Amino acid sequence: MADDPLALFDAWFAEAKAAEPSDAEAMALATASPAGSPSVRMVLMKGHGERGFDFYTNEESAKGRQLADNPHAALLFHWKSLRRQVRIEGTVERIGPGEADVYFATRSRDSQLGAWASDQSRALESRALFERRYEDVQQRFEGEQVPRPPHWGGYRLKPERFEFWLDRPHRLHERRLFTRSASGWDEGLLYP
């Protein structure tokens, strides 16, 4: 077993990419308002490593507004086929515009156009209105590359705590906890 949570995550993630039928990079992102009201939704991890765990979104969305007010969040990866999950908690910082531009350019054109057309998390009068907005954006950028919208960017969760959960018979699960310390990572176990 690895004593470095990032190495252990890499090993588990590699197994999940091979075993999960779809979206091994899907993670639940939990944020909270300044008053502590929680909110959770699924997002896709778009990078990870020593610097943290990356995801991208409309910065004016509910999660973007919550992260602006309270830059603490939690992630959960649940790989059902492996009977494993990883919980990660930490602080969130914005990814720089240059790095966000590079990632945005890798998205499909339809996804790029959708980022312009959507006022994510805001009330929508009708699906037809959104589809008209999408068509307007298609025409606006016809024959051109689609630039990253100014309200769209990336976030990086810098982990302070990892919990690796492994299913065991009779609900006698294994839970390994790593917490960041001045000297690196402290490791312990939790009761199931």
Question: Can you spell out the DSSP letters for 4-42?
Answer: SHHHHHHHHHHHHHHH-SS-TTEEEEEEE-TT--EEEEE
Task: Please give the mean pLDDT across all residues of the chain.
Answer: 95
- Look up residue 69 and give its two tokens: 């007010």
Give residue-wise pLDDT tens across range 5-45.
999 999 999 999 999 988 999 999 999 998 999 999 999 99
Question: What percent of the chain shows pLDDT beyond 70?
Answer: 99
Whether 180 is catalytic is no
pLDDT confidence of residue 21: 84
- Look up residue 168 and give its two tokens: 């065991």
Question: What percent of the chain shows pLDDT beyond 90?
Answer: 91
Q: Which domains, from first to last, does the chain contain?
A: 5-108+148-190 (2.30.110.10)
pLDDT confidence of residue 14: 97
Give residue-wise pLDDT tens across range 93-142.
999 999 999 999 999 999 999 999 998 888 889 999 999 999 999 999 99
Any residues with CB less than 8 A from the CB of 110 and at least 6 apart, and which?
A: none
pLDDT confidence of residue 121: 85
- Look up residue 38 and give its two tokens: 């929680």
Tell me the mean pLDDT in the region 152-174: 96
What CA dihedral angle connects 182, 187, 188 and 192, to 10 degrees?
120
Task: Give the pLDDT band of residue 173 (cuts 50, 70, 90).
Answer: very high
In this structure, the strands spanning 52-58 and 47-49 are antiparallel
pLDDT confidence of residue 51: 95
Catalytic residue of the set 51, 122, 168, 171: 171
Q: Is the pLDDT of residue 161 over 80?
A: yes
pTM more than 0.85: yes
pLDDT confidence of residue 123: 87
Any residues with CB less than 8 A from the CB of 75 and at least 6 apart, and which?
A: 27, 28, 29, 30, 45, 53, 86, 87, 88, 89, 157
Any residues with CB less than 8 A from the CB of 56 and at least 6 apart, and which?
A: 46, 95, 100, 103, 104, 152, 153, 154, 155
Which amino acid type is present at position 117?
A
pLDDT confidence of residue 137: 96
Q: Is the pLDDT of residue 60 over 60?
A: yes
